[in-house]
């Protein structure tokens, strides 16, 4: 029953095909589009077509606000950083109406942060339509950075470089689904599985992650669950549903609730 629940709830828009829609209006670093089934925090890019066979990506895009009443959404635009090659020239195109916004482009590829091998196997086998990037690969990236404690920036940079769209984190008997590039919470799924043990910083077959001499992320992670719950809260501090979830799972006096900017 647990596996069936996860498979059912986790399907849908988060594992759907990329959403493409033209830009309607541009106002400095924001653009308006018409699209349904979008969630705030979804990432993507702006595509400029020059002719029938030539096009290029000219900007990053993130869903900043949705309005189900009129089926429109506001995108926050920023310089494109998906491909970095300082030896090659880059274009200087500003997004304009009729350019195309492509959202949820990499959502068929995902990284799972799980507390142990049993949880990892159970979740990856339960969710269909996903190409799983093994955490061993991410561990190698962290070792190169010298971060045995993964930072939010590590997730974003790794997923951008490796075309990974979704990040799943299993914690507090909940499966959190986030956009891996923005760390925005897209969905929560209750799990009936109680985690008996957890390893830090997450399940991986790599025994040791190299640590840098100093700096953020260079210390060893002491406890799995509190760290990830805090990072999710910090990056989604205005999310009312997440706040209510934490409040229900923990007490009103939990330190985790201090990371939210919610007015009661």
Residue 226 tokens, joined: 């509190």
Q: Is residue 185 a contact partner of residue 245, using CB atoms and an 8 Å limit?
A: no
State whether 25 and 99 are in the same domain. yes
Contact 183, 196 (CB under 8 A): no
pLDDT of 90 reads 67
Among residues 54, 85, 103, the one where a domain terminates is 103
Q: Which residues contact 255 (CB under 8 A, 6 or more apart)?
A: none
Cis status of the peptide bond prior to 232, with omega within 30 of 0: no
Bridge partners (DSSP) of residue 65 are 74
Verify that 139 and 68 share a domain, yes or no: no
pLDDT of residue 87: 61
**What letters, b where the CB count within 10 A reaches 16 and e where it falls short, cover 82-102?**
eeeeeeeeeeeeebeeebbbe
Give the domain range for residue 111.
Answer: 2-10+107-259
CB atoms under 10 Å from CB of 171, counted, come to 21
Residues 30 and 149 in one domain: no
φ, ψ of residue 229 in degrees (nearest 5): -65, -40
156 and 183 in contact (C-beta within 8 Å)? yes
- Nearest to 61, CA basis, from 20, 18, 30, 93: 30
pLDDT of residue 4: 36
Q: Looking at residue 195, what is its pLDDT?
A: 81
Tell me, what CATH number does 57's domain have? Answer: 2.40.10
Q: Are residues 97 and 186 in the same domain?
A: no
* Full pLDDT tens readout for the chain, 264 residues: 344 344 444 444 465 589 999 999 999 999 999 988 899 999 999 999 999 899 999 999 999 999 988 999 999 999 988 776 666 666 778 999 989 999 999 999 999 999 999 999 999 999 989 999 999 999 999 999 999 999 999 999 999 999 999 999 999 999 999 999 999 999 999 986 778 799 999 999 999 999 999 999 999 999 999 999 999 999 999 999 999 999 999 988 899 999 999 876
Whether residue 157 sits in one domain with residue 27: no
pTM reported for the whole predicted model: 0.91
Give the residue from 103, 131, 164 where a domain finishes. Answer: 103
Q: 39-67: string of b/e by CB count within 10 Å (b at 16+)?
A: bbbbbbbbbbeeeeeeeebbbbbbbbebe
Tell me the sheet residues that pair with 175: 170, 189
Final residue of a structural domain among 42, 73, 103: 103
- 118 and 93: one domain? no
- What is the greatest pairwise CA distance in the chain? 59
pLDDT value, residue 104: 94
CA 175/CA 262 separation, integer angstroms: 22
* Alpha carbon distance 78, 69 (integer Å): 27
In a domain, 264, yes or no: no
């Amino acid at each position: 029953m647990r596996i069936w629940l996860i498979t059912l709830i986790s399907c849908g828009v988060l594992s759907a095909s990329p959403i493409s829609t033209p830009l309607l209006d541009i106002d400095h670093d924001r653009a308006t589009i018409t699209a349904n089934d979008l969630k705030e925090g979804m990432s993507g890019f702006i595509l400029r077509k020059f002719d029938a066979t030539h096009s290029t990506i000219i900007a990053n895009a993130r869903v900043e606000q949705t309005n189900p009443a009129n089926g429109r959404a506001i995108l926050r635009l920023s310089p494109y950083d998906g491909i970095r090659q300082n030896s090659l020239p880059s274009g200087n195109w500003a997004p304009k109406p009729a350019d195309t916004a492509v959202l949820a482009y990499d959502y068929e590829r995902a990284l799972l942060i799980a507390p142990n091998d049993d949880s990892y196997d159970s979740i990856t086998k339960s969710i269909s339509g996903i190409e799983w990037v093994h955490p061993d690969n991410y561990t190698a990236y962290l070792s190169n950075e010298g971060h045995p404690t993964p930072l939010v920036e590590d997730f974003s940079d790794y997923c951008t470089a490796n075309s990974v769209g979704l990040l799943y984190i299993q914690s507090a008997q909940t499966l959190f689904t986030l956009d891996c590039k923005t760390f925005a919470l897209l969905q929560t799924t209750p799990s009936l599985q109680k985690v008996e043990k957890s390893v830090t910083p997450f399940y991986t077959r790599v025994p040791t992650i190299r640590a840098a001499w100093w700096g953020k992320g260079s210390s060893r992670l002491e406890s799995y669950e509190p760290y990830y719950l805090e990072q999710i809260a910090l990056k989604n501090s205005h999310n009312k549903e997440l706040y209510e979830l934490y409040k229900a799972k923990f007490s009103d006096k939990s330190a985790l609730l201090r990371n939210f900017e919610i007015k009661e």
